[in-house]
Amino acid sequence: MMIYITTGTHCAHPTILRRHFGTYSAAREAAVDMVNLLREHIGQDKLPPVSAEEWQQGLREAQRERLRQLGEDVQNLDSDDLATQAECDVWIERANVDNIAPFPVLGDRELAAILAALRLLQRQSCPADLVDIVTKGDTVTALDPGEIDGLCERLNGADGSDDVPRIVVAIEGGLVSGVVTDRPVILHTVDYDIEGAGDDEISLVPQDEHDPVEAIVNRWSDVALTVDPDWVSRVETALIEAPEA
């Protein structure tokens, strides 16, 4: 299964915003939102919002404007140099998630030891004899303090509660119009209202103590659903904060 990952960095925020989607169009819309936030923050009234067709051009424009504000010469910079010097970027990547490895389940002592080691790495420079390990033989960059904070939060949440996928099903007029999840899943919907359905649309759905029943079964997976854990979390927060009826 192929998913699309939209990632954004912002000069005013140390954390990296990363969102996952089942379709490129959804990932591009997220990229547009991130770019327009950058343009609003950097350009104030100078940089109006851009459309989906212009998001990459709009990103470069925002990066150049930030460098101008810093007094930098932007004439001969390529896109990579722009992103590095402006300290802000937005990009979309593809990833194959057919073989997702589950987050390891750790015992209390194992988790405590890992968290302590991470905090020690965060507070002190890495000993010379361990640099090769923390950089994986100088093939990766060591985690910065903000990334270590994020990893510690993920580890603290890896106690089994995150093993259950969170799924948001959007319904309009009694019909499922969209599915958003916090991780790749396969979801089946069963509709027992088969009026007007063709024979090729109808399946026999097994019942616990009765004969199978005719129904319309739809499968939601791959590009049919959106993987966006950040949005799912916001939906849950809205539910918690909603006033009681």
Q: Which residues pair with 13 in a beta bridge?
A: 10
Domain with 229, as residue range(s), is 167-241
Does 18 lie in the same domain as 43? yes
- Average of pLDDT values for 193-212? 88
175 and 204, same domain (yes or no) = yes
Question: How many domains are contained in the chain?
Answer: 3
Higher pLDDT, 213 or 160: 213
Residues 40 and 67 in one domain: yes
Residues 235, 189 share a domain: yes
Residue 137 within any structural domain of the chain:
yes
Check whether residue 67 and residue 152 sit in a common domain: no
Q: Is residue 103 domain-resident?
A: no
Q: Check whether residue 71 and residue 144 sit in a common domain.
A: no
Residue 129 lies in a domain: yes
Residues 49 and 126 in one domain: no
- CA 111/CA 127 separation, integer angstroms: 22
- Is residue 7 domain-shared with residue 30, that is, in the same domain? yes
Interatomic CA distance for residues 2 and 224, integer angstroms: 11
pLDDT at 223: 64
Better pLDDT: 214 or 145: 214
Distance, CA of 184 to CA of 100 (rounded, Å): 9
CA 26 to chain centre: 11
Structure token digits, residue 176: 């499922």
pLDDT of residue 148: 86
Which pLDDT score, from 0 to 100, does residue 225 have? 77
| Single residue among 96, 120, 147 that ends a domain in this structure | 96
* Domain assignment present for 63: yes
**pLDDT value at position 176?**
81
pLDDT tens digits, 85-119: 888 899 998 876 555 455 555 678 888 898 898 88
Are residues 9 and 62 both part of a single domain?
Answer: yes
Where residue 16 falls among pLDDT bands split at 50, 70, 90? Answer: low
Instruction: Give the CA distances from residue 79 to residues 40, 67, 89, 100, in Å, rounded to whole numbers and listed in that order.
Output: 20, 13, 10, 32
pLDDT attached to residue 54:
92
Q: What is the mean pLDDT of the chain?
A: 81
Longest dimension (CA), the chain: 76
Q: What is the pLDDT of residue 55?
A: 94
Q: Is residue 101 part of a domain?
A: no
What are the tokens at 108? 């209390």
Query: What local confidence, expressed as pLDDT, does residue 157 receive?
Result: 65
* pLDDT bracket for residue 229 (50, 70, 90): confident
Q: What is the pTM for the complete model shown?
A: 0.44
pLDDT tens track for 23-55: 788 889 989 988 998 898 887 778 999 999 999
Name the residue with tokens 């327009």.
36
**83 shares its domain with 132:** no
**CA–CA distance, 1 with 226 (Å, rounded to integer):** 12
Nearest to 90 by CA among 65, 53, 69, 62: 62
Handedness of CA 227, 229, 231, 235 (dihedral sign): positive
With 90 as the cut, is the pLDDT of residue 214 above it?
A: yes
Tokens of 232: 């799912």
Asked if residue 13 belongs to a domain, the reply is yes
